[in-house]
Amino acid sequence: RFHSQDSRMAKSKNHTNHNQNYKAHRNGIKRPKFGTKVSTKGMDPKFIRNQKHAKKGMKRAEAKKPNHTKQRAPGTDHYAQ
């Protein structure tokens, strides 16, 4: 059905944030969960096996590293021997 432009009004409201804050706080705004382990379900088994060995190797390399907790004497240069 044909309507003339005079009978329709221009739309004025494009966006509103009304009630969104209330809705967000109904169940409380939670902190994001962290430390959760990513599931390997459905991943490539070959990749998972390799990843397992790589992690083990990195752990061994970390254990072999010398402990650098001692403070150097002031004025000593690391490269001067």
21-50 pLDDT per residue, tens? 999 999 999 998 888 888 999 999 999 999
pLDDT of residue 80 exceeding 60: no
More confident site: 11 or 21: 21
pLDDT at position 18: 95
Count of CB atoms within 10 A of residue 80's CB?
A: 5
Q: Choose among 64, 65, 63, 37: nearest CA to 51.
A: 37
Mean pLDDT of the chain: 83
